Amino acid sequence: KGTSTTLLMLIATACSFVYFLIVHHDFTLLTYPFKFPDSWVWLVEALSYLGYDVGNAVLAPVTPLSFAFLINMGWEVAIPYRGIVFHHLMIPGLFLLVRSGTGSSRIALVASVLCLTSSSLLGNSLYIGSDVAANAMLLFAMLFFWLGVTRNRNHLWPMALCWGISALTQYAGFFLAFPFLAYLALNDRRLLRDLRVWASFALAGLLASSQFIYRYFEFGNLFYSRAKHLSLVRFHLDSVGQYAWWWVGFFSIPVLVVAAVGLWEVICRERYRKLGTLLVLWIVTMTVFFVFAYSWDDSRFVQYVAPQTLALAAIGLRRLIADLRAGAPAGSPGPALPSTTRQTEITRIDLGLR
């Protein structure tokens, strides 16, 4: 069963990726229609790395460096596909995280399908930018962190690499420190005394901070940037209504309702609680920053809570289906209909809830 669901996920992801390659193969970099103002900033930054006297904003370096590499190799036509590639890389990452955290390949498959078919995530991936790549690396950092603290500590090293690269792609990567440390404090405090944990955190921090070290020696200021991102960081409440509307538009009301059921499920059911804690801490961290601390409002920032929300929705959908088949009120906590009848027992086995 696990093998078949994994294979189905991979086939669906590959078909989707090939479809987007076919649809967009006639575009050049200049004629590609999906650009917003930041797209031009990233492209100009790439040209500055190639020695062109075009000025540069001095941004997080991974995106412009990758664009510069493609331009230098004569592959600039591939730049529009970068977001599409990272979007499709998120699918197996989310599948592995949810399967490892819930023990259910079916829940993982549902989460992956929700992510793969999300028109909002697909729409964001079409634009030339850096948020999709940063969010994908955040997801893989979270996956390897989860495997590192629950399976094998050696997974903490790829976690550090993905975390560092994410912070070098967009500054939002720095904020993973809070859900990581909060999770350890709530679920496994002994790991806070494990040197491998702190060594991996230090490696991620060193990798992420290398951009500021470069700026200090190049410009004499650790946080030098013409983009002035720090001036946008301030506590405010005037974005709450805007982001609430964007959340509904990004996910839809049915998905949010099912995700709320999933949130209730991870609170009530022990087998999902640890993964649920990590997902919720991740959502809270990104929400607090973008809604209350960052005054540049943009609907594309909602994608930073998308993998977690869709994972909760998959858990909630599994719960609703189980309750409907067993005849219990949808979303009720605990085992559905605590009956000892043979039919109820067979239903629970078929659904994989044992």
Nearest-angstrom CA–CA distance, 290 and 260: 21
Nearest-angstrom CA–CA distance, 236 and 243: 13
Q: Which residues of 209-240 are buried (b: 16+ CB within 10 A; e: fewer)?
A: eebeeebeeeeeeeeebeeeeeeeeeeeeebe
Nearest-angstrom CA–CA distance, 292 and 297: 10
Q: What is the pLDDT of residue 27?
A: 79
**How many C-beta neighbours within 10 Å does residue 254 have?**
10
Q: What is the pLDDT of residue 223?
A: 86
Q: What is the pLDDT of residue 346?
A: 34
Residues 6+ apart with CB under 8 A from 223: 212, 215, 230
Q: Which of 263, 246, 260 is nearest to 303 (CA)?
A: 246
Reading the block at residue 271, the tokens are: 């087998």
Nearest-angstrom CA–CA distance, 162 and 195: 19
Q: Please give the sequence-ordered ranges of beta strands (E in DSSP) within the chain, or none if there are none.
A: none
Residue 76 corresponds to which amino acid? E
- Helix 82-102 with 119-126: angle, nearest 10 deg: 140
Q: What is the pLDDT of residue 136?
A: 96
Reading the block at residue 39, the tokens are: 């797209």
Reading the block at residue 323, the tokens are: 């309750």
Q: What is the pLDDT of residue 199?
A: 96
Please tell me the pTM assigned to this model.
0.88
pLDDT mean values, one per 10 residues, the chain (354 residues): 76 84 77 85 92 87 95 91 92 95 92 92 91 96 96 95 96 92 92 93 95 91 85 90 94 95 92 93 96 92 96 95 75 44 37 37
With beta carbons less than 8 A apart as the criterion, state whether 82 and 133 touch.
yes
With beta carbons less than 8 A apart as the criterion, state whether 48 and 131 touch.
no
